[in-house]
Amino acid sequence: MLRIANKLPTIEPINMEPVLNLNPDLVYEQTQRILTEIKIYKFRSDIKSIRYKTKTYKNKTPLDVFNALIRISAMFDELNQAGFTPSYVFGESMRVYDDLTTILNHLGIEDNTVPTARNDKATPADTFEVAMKILEKIKQIQFSVGITTVDFSAFRYTKITPSTVFTMNQMILAELQTIKAYVGLNHYITPAATTYVNKTPADVDQLMNWSLRKVTLLNIGIRKSI
Is the CB of residue 140 less than 8 Å from the CB of residue 175? Answer: no
Q: Please give the residue that has the higher pLDDT: either 204 or 34.
A: 204
Is the CB of residue 6 less than 8 Å from the CB of residue 41? Answer: yes
Residue 68 Cα distances to 27, 34, 63, 112, 157, angstroms: 12, 12, 8, 37, 13
Question: What band does 137 get if pLDDT is binned at 50, 70 and 90?
Answer: very high
Angle at the Cα of 21 from the Cα atoms of 20 and 27, rounded to 5 degrees: 125
DSSP state of 152: -
pLDDT of residue 136: 94
Question: What band does 130 get if pLDDT is binned at 50, 70 and 90?
Answer: very high
Listed in sequence order, the DSSP H helices in 12-159 are 24-44, 62-80, 86-106, 124-145
Question: What band does 39 get if pLDDT is binned at 50, 70 and 90?
Answer: confident
**Measured distance CA(91)–CA(12) in Å, rounded:** 13
Torsions phi, psi for 200 (to 5 deg): -120, 165
Does 151 have pLDDT greater than 60? yes
Question: What band does 69 get if pLDDT is binned at 50, 70 and 90?
Answer: low
Q: Three-state SS across 32-71?
A: HHHHHHHHHHHHHCCCCCCCCCCCCCCCCCHHHHHHHHHH
Does 92 have pLDDT greater than 70? yes
Mean pLDDT over residues 56-80, rounded?
66
pLDDT of residue 51: 61
- pTM for this predicted structure: 0.77
**Measured distance CA(159)–CA(212) in Å, rounded:** 23
Does 123 have pLDDT greater than 60? yes
Mean pLDDT over residues 133-157, rounded?
87
For residue 60, what are the domain limits? 2-225
Mean pLDDT over residues 68-91, rounded?
74
Instruction: Look at 63-72, 107-116, 169-178 and tell me which has the smallest mean pLDDT.
Output: 63-72
> pLDDT per residue over 158-201, tens digit each?
788 888 899 899 889 989 999 999 999 988 889 888 989 999 99
Average pLDDT score over the chain: 82
Number of domains present in the structure of the chain: 1
**Measured distance CA(185)–CA(197) in Å, rounded:** 31
**Measured distance CA(155)–CA(218) in Å, rounded:** 23
Residue 36 Cα distances to 14, 153, 225, angstroms: 13, 32, 44
